Amino acid sequence: MKRRHIPIMGFFLLLLSFTLPGYDQSKKSAAPPELIRDTGVAEGKDTPETPVVKERNPKLAKQNIDIGNYYFKDKNYVAAIRRYLEAIEYQPDSIKAFEALANAYEKNGEITKAVDTYKSFLDKNPDLPENHQFRIKLAKLEKKTN
């Protein structure tokens, strides 16, 4: 008995020539097909997981501050703000990150956010010697908002 080999491309063409039983192509619905996902978060059906708290890492905080400073000098304040916020996630008590973040908000025209940044730092760190400088800067910014 001699075996016949069907070339792969011919096999796929043969499969495509048949239609599935019970499938009527004329009855296509107007709604797009549902996407298959592992989770319903993308469709808004499930609540997203709690945000991941980053482990304290002063080295990564410093890297983000340095990159933020580069963006700040380049007058890309939005990118600088993102980097400073990330630095704060890695080191929540970073004086440099909070001060840089407030300066970036101020340069970006977001004075109220700059004020909130200083207030947040002062609330979290009430006993630091740098607080006097932050209070002076906060007072100047509050005058701008009034």
- With a pLDDT cut of 90, the percent of the chain lying above it is 45
Q: Which of 31-35, 85-89, 98-102 has the lowest mean pLDDT?
A: 31-35
Banded model confidence at residue 98, pLDDT cuts 50, 70, 90: very high
Q: Is residue 109 part of a domain?
A: yes
Q: Is residue 34 part of a domain?
A: no
Whether 133 shows a pLDDT value over 90: the answer reads no
- Give the tokens for residue 129: 């010697």
Query: Could you tell me the sign of the dihedral formed by the alpha carbons of 113, 82, 102, 92, in that order?
Result: positive
Report the CATH number that the domain containing residue 82 is assigned in CATH.
Answer: 1.25.40.10
Q: Is residue 43 part of a domain?
A: no
- Give the tokens for residue 116: 């909130």
User: Which DSSP string do the residues of 39-54 spell out, in sequence order?
Assistant: -STTTTSSPPPPPPPP
The rounded mean pLDDT for the chain is 80
Q: Is residue 39 part of a domain?
A: no
**23 three-state secondary structure:** coil
Structural domain of residue 82, as residue ranges?
58-145
pLDDT of residue 30: 61
Number of structural domains the chain divides into: 1
Q: Is the pTM of this model over 0.75?
A: no
Q: Is residue 140 part of a domain?
A: yes
